[in-house]
Structure 1
Amino acid sequence: MSKQEPTFALIDCNSFYASCERVFRPDLAKVPIVVLSNNDGCVIARSYDAKPFIKMGEPYFQIKHKLRQHGIVAFSSNYALYGDMSERVMSLIEAMVPAVEVYSIDEAFADLTGIGGLDALGRQIRAQVLRCTGIPVGVGIAHTKTLAKLANHTAKRLQSQTGGVVNITDPVKRDWVLRNTDVGEVWGVGRKMKLHLNAMGIKSAMNLAKADPWTLRKKFSVVIEKTARELGGMSCLELDEPAPLKQEICCSRMFGKRLVELQPIKEAVATYVMRASEKLRAQKSLCKKVRVCIRTGMFNPEEAKYANGVVVDMPYPTDDVRLLTQAAVGALDHIFRLGFKYSKAEVILLNLCQLGEHTDDLFATSQTAEANRVMTVLDQINVRWGRGTVRLASVPLDPHWGMRRELMSKSYTTKLDQLWSVACE
């Protein structure tokens, strides 16, 4: 019995951040949207109709006039909303296909090997996600992951003709897409690589598919070799296994304004430790060391510059947020200096190990069963009622130093007091 040829689908949300903002604002259905980075710094996402006017990465303060001129609405990043909507989209996809690899917050690969009616399934996935979440998606189907990416790109580029679903498992359709796609649009081919390939006469995806893989490997890398083979129809990339556990966990943020006093920086560090410890317990790890860093802004020539960090050894491997916070906040006393305007703090949990991996001598102190129970209850409450429902007293509810997000939409799906309401007249 011959082995079935693998088949993949890439399901990618269209302009995901902007689409999330539109779900609960139907009045913006035909209004161009941009989403800003932390502290409303620069553009990190654009709706399709905003792309002709605004470039990615443009600083917000420089383009306010362009936004007004073209009627473009700007939003601060609302990661709670985007994360929750992503989970809803991925849950729907997982319920409709045998196996899924969540590739990023807004896209996932699905294994469709052995499944018939691929076009109908693609349209079904698209319709189900749109109906249940309001998020439009594109679906690309092919025999390799790289081709599925290319099919998805074509589904979005030619949405009016394709209906958002493109299946190129047929060689004739595959070759048409390859001929009509610039090599720079191929997954994994960046700007510099495109220039190198163009110099070799490789200008389209079809040129890359027909290039000699061994030559590409010797001249560039095994990654480009695999890309060429995948474009030619040979599957070299499988659905990834679950991601390995992190060996370090970092939480860092820019402050919403410069801080010159120690106390608000301690509040920020306590907040970051709480978030990092949640990730630590989620992967069932323990931490042996904590590194705390603070720094000023590094680009303003009128501000004095200073950066420093310190590593603290924990008395025993732990996931107890109380002990971790005490160590991290206490460390600030050794690195804080008066007279500077601080812009950022960072907390890194180091030397992580799993429960039962560390070996202690007979008399060594270890985390108590009581502490384990407290952390379990803490996480259960915060999962059920929302992050920060139960927190340390040193973690403020509404910090004045928090990220500047003056244009943020409501957390429609994650906060009871911000649920979507409909007025009846």
Structure 2
Amino acid sequence: MILHLDINNFYCSAYRVFMPWLEGRPVGVLSSGDGCLVARSNELKALGVPNGIPVFQLAPEVRRQTVLLSSAYALFGEMSRRVVATVRASTGRVQVYSCDELFADASGLSCEALQAHAEQLRHTVQRNTGLPVSIGVAASRTLAKVATGIAKKQPAFRGVCVLEADHPATLAHLGKMPATDLWGVASRTGEKLARLGIRTALALREADPKAIRQRFGVVLERTLWELRGLDVIQPDDIDQKRQNIMTSRTFGQATGDLADLQEAVRTHAQAGAAKARRQQSVARAVMVFLSTPRFRSDLPQDYPSVTLPLPRPTDDSRLIVATAQRALAMIYRPGYQYAKAGVMLIDLADREGLQLDWLEAQEPETQRQQSAQLMKVMDAVNREFGRGTLSLGGERPQQSWRQRTQRPTPRFLTSWDELPVIRMG
């Protein structure tokens, strides 16, 4: 059996742990740069506010009663780590799916024992971290996520739902559930399924596996088998390495200064290289793009981009940054105010299993080892002392391109100066 745990309204709940006065009030957490809503409390959802809406589109009556907060990713990351640690101490093998979701091994227990175990785990997580969670248990990951959705939306389950694949109640729920609500079924796939008369999760479960595979591929066929209670989606199917890595941010304010753009591109290139190293990949090419403010009709518009091959497949920040800067020099045009820059590492390959093309420049083994050691030291320093502690090129004190947060909160758990204070008496 598979246990799936989902933190309820994670970002909002994380803030409420340290700001209890937010309880019961509509709360919205904003994206980087405070542009859009990326998380909503139940109270804000009840007001009909959709996720992803730009802040300026919020109705005045909603703005007056809503508490809007900037994202605090250091806090969210630490709270997520604590939830994972709590689950690992209470159950079997844990697979982290995202910052607010995880799967755990729950095999070997009866249905009654699974219910009790999940209820105790939910209580332990809330006691240890202050975060409310919902838990679903089933024979497959897809059904476990369905069970979690039931536990979250139906108060009668009190946050825990155990589903048996062939139980009449399970089949009845799948018969009411749109196929597009299933994990991994996109709206476009749902439209194609609907043309075949498959509109619900139950209809997909009862479809012919061979026909589904022929029309949609092996991934959707696996979803079909998962709905029948077979655990065929393995961790490697979920945690596949990315073939491209994009790093981009909207600027705090538009800028036409080349030095600002060079610094932004350098920062993004280093971040992308670090991500490539974390997944043991090397890149063969780098794409750089710029964008002017799309909603500023009073400004001239420009959306240039260019892709340059790297001299050899690499994860070395120095080579990636140098190539990205050459690309920037090719597309930069004076006289434009740019609001966004981005760097994408393209055509990633596994670092250990890479088969070098004889036409590609090959790096001497000594140089390769020196590069790997240097990057290892850089990553270790930045993990220990914070991102950006050790970087290429340095940073200027005034950075107009940096994102600005207008509604910051204390970091609570990751800064000594911002630890929560308790007053008694």
The answer to whether the superposition gives a TM-score over 0.5 is yes
Shift of 1:278: 1.6
Report the 3-state secondary structure (helix = DSSP H, G, I; strand = E; otherwise coil) of the residue aligned with 1:257.
Answer: strand
Alignment partner of 2:24 out of 22, 26, 30: 30
- 2:334 equivalent in structure 1: 338
Tell me if 1:258 matches 2:254: yes
Provide closer, same or farther for how the CA distance between residues 325 and 23 of structure 1 changes in structure 2, counting only shifts above 3 A: same
Provide closer, same or farther for how the CA distance between residues 121 and 375 of structure 1 changes in structure 2, counting only shifts above 3 A: same
Provide closer, same or farther for how the CA distance between residues 392 and 230 of structure 1 changes in structure 2, counting only shifts above 3 A: closer
- 1:82 equivalent in structure 2: 76
Tell me if 1:162 matches 2:135: no
Alignment partner of 1:109 out of 88, 103, 109: 103
Deviations 1:76-132 (A, max 9, x none): 222332233223323333343333332222112223232342112211221222122
Provide closer, same or farther for how the CA distance between residues 362 and 229 of structure 1 changes in structure 2, counting only shifts above 3 A: closer
Query: Contact 1:179–1:204 at 8 Å: present in 2 too?
Result: yes
Q: What pairs with 1:30-109 in structure 2 (closer than 5 Å)? A: 30-53=24-47, 54-63=49-58, 65-69=60-64, 71-109=65-103
Question: Matches of 2:135 and 2:232 in 1, distance apart?
Answer: 21
Tell me if 1:379 matches 2:379: yes
Shift of 1:403: 1.8
Question: Matches of 2:372 and 2:191 in 1, distance apart?
Answer: 55
TM-score, length-scaled by structure 2: 0.84
Deviations 1:254-283 (A, max 9, x none): 112211111111111111122112213323
Report the 3-state secondary structure (helix = DSSP H, G, I; strand = E; otherwise coil) of the residue aligned with 1:307.
Answer: coil
Alignment partner of 1:140 out of 136, 139, 146: 136
Question: Match for 1:59: what amino acid?
Answer: P
Shift of 1:15: 0.9
Query: Contact 2:177–2:200 at 8 Å: present in 1 too?
Result: yes
Provide closer, same or farther for how the CA distance between residues 230 and 322 of structure 1 changes in structure 2, counting only shifts above 3 A: closer
Question: Matches of 2:258 and 2:424 in 1, distance apart?
Answer: 50
- 1:127 equivalent in structure 2: 123
Shift of 1:158: 1.4
Q: What pairs with 1:244-283 in structure 2 (closer than 5 Å)? A: 244-283=240-279
- 1:412 equivalent in structure 2: 412
Report the 3-state secondary structure (helix = DSSP H, G, I; strand = E; otherwise coil) of the residue aligned with 2:287.
Answer: strand
Tell me if 1:328 matches 2:324: yes
Question: Matches of 2:188 and 2:343 in 1, distance apart?
Answer: 34
TM-score, length-scaled by structure 1: 0.84
Question: Matches of 2:202 and 2:229 in 1, distance apart?
Answer: 11
Query: Contact 1:386–1:415 at 8 Å: present in 2 too?
Result: no
Question: Match for 1:27: what amino acid?
Answer: W
Q: Which moved more, 1:27-36 or 1:291-300?
A: 291-300
Report the 3-state secondary structure (helix = DSSP H, G, I; strand = E; otherwise coil) of the residue aligned with 2:390.
Answer: coil
Question: Matches of 1:351 and 1:288 in 2, distance apart?
Answer: 6
Report the 3-state secondary structure (helix = DSSP H, G, I; strand = E; otherwise coil) of the residue aligned with 2:80.
Answer: helix
Tell me if 1:301 matches 2:294: no
Provide closer, same or farther for how the CA distance between residues 232 and 40 of structure 1 changes in structure 2, counting only shifts above 3 A: same
* Structure 2, gaps ≥5 residues long: none
Q: Which moved more, 1:28-37 or 1:196-205?
A: 196-205
- 1:15 equivalent in structure 2: 9
Shift of 1:65: 1.3
Query: Contact 1:42–1:60 at 8 Å: present in 2 too?
Result: yes
Question: Matches of 1:211 and 1:372 in 2, distance apart?
Answer: 50
What count of residue pairs does the alignment treat as equivalent?
Answer: 417
Q: Which moved more, 1:215-224 or 1:20-29?
A: 215-224
Question: Matches of 1:216 and 1:254 in 2, distance apart?
Answer: 41
Question: Match for 1:400: what amino acid?
Answer: S
Question: Match for 1:333: what amino acid?
Answer: A
Q: What pairs with 1:138-287 in structure 2 (closer than 5 Å)? A: 138-159=134-155, 161-169=156-164, 171-175=167-171, 177-178=173-174, 181=177, 185-189=181-185, 205-206=201-202, 208-210=204-206, 226-240=222-236, 243-287=239-283
Report the 3-state secondary structure (helix = DSSP H, G, I; strand = E; otherwise coil) of the residue aligned with 2:128.
Answer: helix
* Structure 1, gaps ≥5 residues long: 1-6
Provide closer, same or farther for how the CA distance between residues 390 and 202 of structure 1 changes in structure 2, counting only shifts above 3 A: closer
RMSD: 3.3
Provide closer, same or farther for how the CA distance between residues 41 and 214 of structure 1 changes in structure 2, counting only shifts above 3 A: same
Provide closer, same or farther for how the CA distance between residues 208 and 368 of structure 1 changes in structure 2, counting only shifts above 3 A: closer
Q: Which moved more, 1:346-355 or 1:121-130?
A: 346-355
Report the 3-state secondary structure (helix = DSSP H, G, I; strand = E; otherwise coil) of the residue aligned with 2:25.
Answer: coil
